[in-house]
């Protein structure tokens, strides 16, 4: 039988990565990438341009049978009736909607939000950004005809939709589609009933909603209803290209290409890693996440753990911080060293950095919900105020914040039998060693790879063949080296 190729896309905050793989084995055939602009508010056109460039860099899609796009979650992509973006998309790390989030929690109460959406609103979630738009930019809010997420919008464009002068199929908003993992990060979709909550959407934007291709979910005859993407099953295609679609960068998506439902980035990583019940991953990107897979409903009235859907129909309890590898970049810049140099310095200081603690809220924080917080360096003495101790405090502060996230996930009843450490910072020897100390358990380090894009490719293979393939992921294990005093001193300072 001839080889079938599938593609997975990771459209993240910083860049777009494309991986093309053998559908049966998962073997990487070729890859490509392109960068995204910095900022917390971005014109989605940059993502579309980067997608085309990354596809071209990967050798094109001429021989690819199916593709799925995973993307950064929560970003608000507001479209008008002509399919044009109303304003720059507010990304997950844009905290201007913090006051809107607090208002929404006060209006409904934490317990009600958790019961209806599996989460408590914070500035990251799409619904809070819609409330901000309604209050801060009413003229733009009035123009909104549809609301999508980054991966929804990119999939829509890839399938040939968009403004009439930019796309072959034009602004058909009823063609918008998404998946459960991304919809569950909006704060107006229920991952238990797997349907939108029209009342919560109206509380955010002040208007009713209509599911793409379906009836208005608010009052009958509501001509002002806003279109939201239909939610596609994990193994269902969004659609199949009926004709060629020209992409930025000179590539072409050929007629017959199957487009899968895609995923939110963390669900994509879970699928790429092959996580199952009992597995929990700590991801060290610009932001940090702790997430696992469970077949049972997850509720956390405190809002620390969000009960998202995963990419298979199960649940993905998750904790997210705004500060992870960013911490190493900031302190590395201060010390004029790269990540490796920072790690070498950190290993020269003892566990606990002789009492020096960095609480790393450099851009505020999402978990705990402190959007206006700043970072703090505590325990400075003549003996601890040197490069090695500061490097050690940076690594420990980043990981201790995520250890609190792991404890919160366990607190919801999720069992942790295997802990995985992924992301660019997980390649650092100091980070690996300190992780085994801070988490106090064996830490499994999968081989370096683009696991979000891999998960999207695995989903594409599922949609194409009708069965979810098993792709092997090799890993090394760093043995547990418990140093509970490190986390204890961090918690004592962070609680202040």
Q: Is 421 helix (H, G, I), strand (E, B) or coil?
A: strand
Cα 279 to Cα 78, 139, 294, 361, 408: the distances in Å are 36, 46, 9, 27, 15
336 burial via Cβ count (<10 Å: 0-12, 13-18, 19+): exposed
DSSP 35-62: E---SSEE-THHHHHHHHHHHHHTT-ST
Among candidate residues 190, 225, 229, the one with its CA nearest the CA of residue 212: 229
Measure the CA–CA gap between 318 and 101, rounded to whole angstroms.
Answer: 19
Rg (CA), the chain: 22
| Residues 377, 381, 383, 387, CA torsion sign | positive
Cα 217 to Cα 78, 117, 152, 292, 462: the distances in Å are 19, 17, 20, 32, 31
Q: 10 Å Cβ neighbour count for 293? A: 24
Structure tokens at 432: 């690996």
Any bridge partners for residue 3, and if so which? none
Q: Which helix (H) or strand (E) is 376 found in, with range?
A: strand 376-378
User: Angle 148-107-100 (CA atoms, 0-180°, nearest 5)?
Assistant: 50
Indicate which residue of 152, 179, 265, 279 is catalytic: 265
Is the CB of residue 488 less than 8 Å from the CB of residue 357?
no
* Catalytic-residue membership of 265: yes
Pairing of strands 239-240, 209-211: unpaired
User: Angle 205-120-363 (CA atoms, 0-180°, nearest 5)?
Assistant: 90
Is the CB of residue 312 less than 8 Å from the CB of residue 233?
no
DSSP 174-240: GG-EEEHHHHTTSSSEETTTTEE-HHHHHHHHSS-EEETTS-BSSSTT-TTPEEEPEEEPTTS-SEE
Residues labelled as active-site residues = 265
């Amino acid at each position: 039988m001839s080889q079938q190729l599938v593609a997975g896309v990771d459209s993240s905050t910083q860049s777009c990565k494309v991986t093309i793989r053998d559908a049966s084995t998962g073997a990487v055939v070729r890859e490509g990438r392109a960068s995204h602009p910095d900022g917390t508010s971005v014109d989605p056109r940059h993502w579309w341009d980067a997608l085309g460039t990354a596809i071209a860099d990967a050798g094109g899609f001429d021989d690819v049978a199916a593709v799925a796009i995973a993307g950064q979650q929560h970003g608000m992509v507001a479209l008008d009736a002509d399919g044009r973006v109303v304003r720059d998309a507010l990304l997950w790390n844009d905290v201007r909607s913090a006051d809107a989030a607090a208002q929404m929690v006060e209006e409904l109460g934490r317990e009600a939000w958790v019961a209806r959406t599996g989460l408590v609103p914070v500035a990251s979630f799409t619904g809070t950004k819609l409330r901000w738009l309604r209050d801060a930019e009413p003229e733009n809010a009035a123009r909104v005809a549809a609301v999508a997420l980054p991966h929804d919008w990119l999939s829509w464009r890839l399938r040939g939709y968009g403004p009439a002068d930019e796309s072959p199929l034009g602004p058909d908003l009823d063609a918008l589609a998404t998946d459960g993992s991304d919809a569950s990060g909006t704060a107006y979709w229920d991952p238990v009933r797997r349907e939108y909550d029209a009342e919560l959407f109206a509380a955010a934007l002040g208007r009713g909603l209509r599911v793409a291709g379906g009836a208005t979910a608010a009052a009958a005859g509501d001509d002002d209803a806003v279109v939201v993407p239909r939610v596609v099953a994990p193994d269902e295609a969004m659609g199949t290209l009926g004709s060629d679609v020209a992409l930025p960068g000179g590539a072409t998506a050929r007629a017959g290409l199957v487009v899968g439902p895609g995923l939110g980035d963390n669900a994509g990583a879970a699928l790429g890693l092959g996580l199952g019940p009992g597995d929990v991953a700590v991801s060290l990107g610009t932001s940090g996440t702790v997430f696992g897979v469970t077949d049972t409903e997850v509720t956390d009235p405190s809002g620390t753990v969000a009960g998202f859907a995963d990419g298979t129909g199960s649940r993905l309890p998750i904790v997210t911080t705004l500060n992870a590898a960013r911490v190493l970049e900031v302190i590395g810049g201060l010390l004029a060293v790269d990540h490796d140099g920072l790690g070498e310095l950190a290993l020269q200081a003892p566990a606990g950095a002789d009492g020096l603690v960095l609480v790393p809220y450099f851009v505020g924080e999402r978990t705990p919900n402190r959007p206006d917080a700043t970072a703090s360096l505590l325990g400075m003495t003549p003996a601890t105020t040197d490069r090695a101790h500061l490097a050690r405090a940076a690594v420990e502060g980043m990981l201790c914040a995520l250890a609190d996230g792991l404890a919160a996930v366990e607190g919801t009843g999720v069992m942790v039998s295997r802990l995985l450490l992924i992301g660019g910072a997980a390649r650092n020897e100091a980070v690996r060693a300190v992780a085994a100390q801070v988490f106090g358990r064996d830490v499994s380090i999968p081989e370096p790879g683009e696991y979000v894009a891999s998960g999207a490719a695995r989903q594409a293979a599922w949609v194409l063949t009708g069965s979810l393939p098993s792709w092997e992921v090799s890993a090394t294990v760093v043995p547990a080296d418990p140093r509970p005093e490190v986390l204890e001193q961090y918690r004592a300072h962070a609680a202040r």
